[in-house]
């Protein structure tokens, strides 16, 4: 399978340092430390020619906010701070910064706000890993401010990796929701693509669903396909995984073989589903009648692995 663009990273997460408050304070006081500011899943990036880089601040220039230790590389500490992005105007309607439709339209070198879907595949390995990590931590903290046992506001500890209730001393850790995503093939080696009812016509992808409590990944593949399109599959084969922090999924990619091929979509989850040969998929993409998930997604990588090469026609 091709490179999973959100599964990259070069930073040592340095978990042993998270509870060392003295080290954390020294690292924050070090002007060599680098800080990525994260605001509702967005950060600042700069375009330099065909390359895109995250804007990283020294601690003295970073805005105030919750700090998350992301790790260490070559002796340099990396933090994320959850705070409004500095230096950008904000909407009077919702208080958010403006996100450009395309980085190609922005002046080279000028900081602009961008999210993972927009730049996850454009950033280098280090910056992509930092942004995925920061987005995931920010999303977890935003929805777990209060103790689920007693409702007391929790306190951030361990470099942003634990929230502790001061009332009952319970500890709460970032959670990840595993989801299977599967490319289903039939005996003729056709690929199954489908569209959710919330998507516009022509936007197709492969099937996916969350793993249920007490369920194996392989069983989830078989169940989800049966529930969504009414066919039986066998031989789920794992290919790879990628974080998808919207807000906290881990996508686990599989191939599966169809035992039956008559499609009966669940109308609540699937608006349409079709089998495609490689030739049929090529024609549909060239005509513009079909668009595939973007290269940053594991769905695109699974489709291209089956196809045998790169494809065009992004959402």
What is residue 88's predicted lDDT score, i.e. its pLDDT? 76
Judgement on whether residues 133 and 167 belong to the same structural domain of the protein: no
Q: Please indicate, yes or no, whether residues 272 and 209 belong to a single structural domain of this protein.
A: yes
Residue 8 domain-assigned (yes or no): no
Percent of the chain with pLDDT over 70: 94
Average pLDDT over residues 209-229: 98
Q: Which residue has the higher pLDDT, 47 or 68?
A: 68
pLDDT confidence of 96, banded at 50, 70, 90? low
Last residue of a domain, one of 94, 124, 143: 143
Does the pLDDT of residue 97 top 80, yes or no?
no
Q: Flag whether pLDDT at 101 surpasses 70.
A: no
191: domain CATH number?
3.90.79.10
| Domain shared by 193 and 294, yes or no | yes
- DSSP calls for 30-73: -TT-EEEEEBTTEEEEEEETTEEEE--B-GGGSPSSEEEEEEEE
Is residue 134 situated within a structural domain? yes
pLDDT band at 93 (very low <50, low <70, confident <90, very high): very low
Residues 168 and 269 in one domain: no
With a cut of 80, say whether residue 91 has pLDDT above it: no
- Do 186 and 100 share a structural domain? no
Residue 314 lies in a domain: no
User: Around Cβ 5, how many Cβ atoms within 10 Å?
Assistant: 22
Q: Does 225 map to a domain?
A: yes
pLDDT at position 298 is 96
313 versus 214: the higher-pLDDT residue is 214
Cα–Cα dist 160/7, whole Å:
21
Of 95, 124, 143, the residue at which a domain comes to its end is 143
Please tell me whether residues 189 and 291 are part of one structural domain: yes
Per residue in 125-179, pLDDT (tens digit) is: 999 999 999 999 999 999 999 999 999 999 999 999 999 999 999 999 999 999 9
| Residue pair 118/24 in contact by the 8 Å Cβ criterion | no
Domain that holds residue 277: 177-307
Scanning 120-241, the segments in alpha helix (DSSP H) are: 125-143, 217-229
Handedness of CA 274, 307, 242, 130 (dihedral sign): negative
Check residue 92 and give its pLDDT.
47
Q: Same structural domain for residues 121 and 21?
A: yes
Percent of the chain with pLDDT over 90: 86
- Stated as kind and residue range, the H or E segment containing 244 is strand 233-244
Rounded mean pLDDT of the chain? 93
Please check whether residue 4 lies inside any domain of the structure: no
> Tell me: the pLDDT tens digits for 8-59?
999 999 999 999 999 999 999 999 999 999 999 999 999 888 889 999 999 9
Under DSSP, the state recorded for 239 is E
- Residue where one domain finishes, among candidates 91, 119, 143: 143
> 134 with 170, same domain?
no
Residue 95 in this model has a pLDDT that exceeds 70: no
Is 222 within a domain?
yes
Q: Coil, strand or helix: which one is 220?
A: helix
Q: What is the pLDDT of residue 90?
A: 59
Please indicate, yes or no, whether residues 24 and 134 belong to a single structural domain of this protein: yes
Query: Does the predicted model carry a pTM greater than 0.95?
Result: no
Same domain, 217 and 302: yes
Number of domains in the chain: 3
**Domain contains 313:** no
Q: Does residue 29 fall inside a structural domain? A: yes
Query: Are residues 149 and 125 part of one domain?
Result: no
188 shares a domain with 107: no
């Amino acid at each position: 399978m091709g490179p999973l663009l959100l599964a990259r990273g070069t930073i040592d997460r340095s978990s042993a340092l998270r509870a060392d408050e003295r080290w954390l304070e020294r690292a924050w006081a070090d002007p060599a430390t680098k800080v990525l500011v994260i605001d509702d899943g967005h950060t600042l990036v700069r375009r330099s020619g065909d390359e895109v880089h995250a804007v990283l601040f020294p601690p003295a220039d970073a805005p105030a906010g919750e700090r998350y230790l992301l790790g260490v590389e070559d002796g340099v500490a990396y933090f994320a701070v959850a705070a409004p992005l500095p230096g950008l105007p904000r909407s009077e309607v919702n208080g958010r910064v403006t996100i450009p439709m395309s980085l190609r339209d922005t002046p080279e070198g000028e900081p602009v706000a961008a999210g993972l879907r927009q730049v996850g595949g454009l950033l280098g390995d280090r910056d992509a890993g930092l942004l995925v990590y920061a987005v995931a931590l920010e999303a977890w903290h935003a929805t777990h401010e209060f103790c689920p046992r007693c409702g007391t506001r929790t306190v951030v500890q361990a470099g942003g990796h634990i929230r502790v209730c001061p009332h009952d001393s319970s500890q709460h850790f970032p959670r990840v929701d595993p989801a299977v995503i599967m490319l289903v093939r039939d005996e003729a080696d056709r690929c199954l693509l489908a569209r959710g009812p919330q998507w516009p016509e022509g936007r197709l992808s492969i099937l996916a669903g969350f793993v249920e409590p007490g369920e194996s990944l392989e069983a989830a593949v078989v169940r989800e396909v049966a529930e969504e399109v009414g066919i039986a599959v066998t031989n789920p084969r794992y290919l790879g995984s990628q974080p998808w922090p919207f807000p906290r999924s881990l996508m686990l990619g599989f191939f599966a073989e169809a035992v039956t091929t008559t499609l009966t979509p669940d109308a609540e989850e699937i608006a349409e589903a079709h089998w495609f040969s490689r030739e049929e998929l090529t024609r549909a993409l060239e005509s513009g009648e079909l668009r595939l998930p973007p290269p940053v997604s594991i769905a695109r990588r699974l489709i291209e692995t089956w196809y045998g090469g790169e494809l065009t026609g992004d959402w």
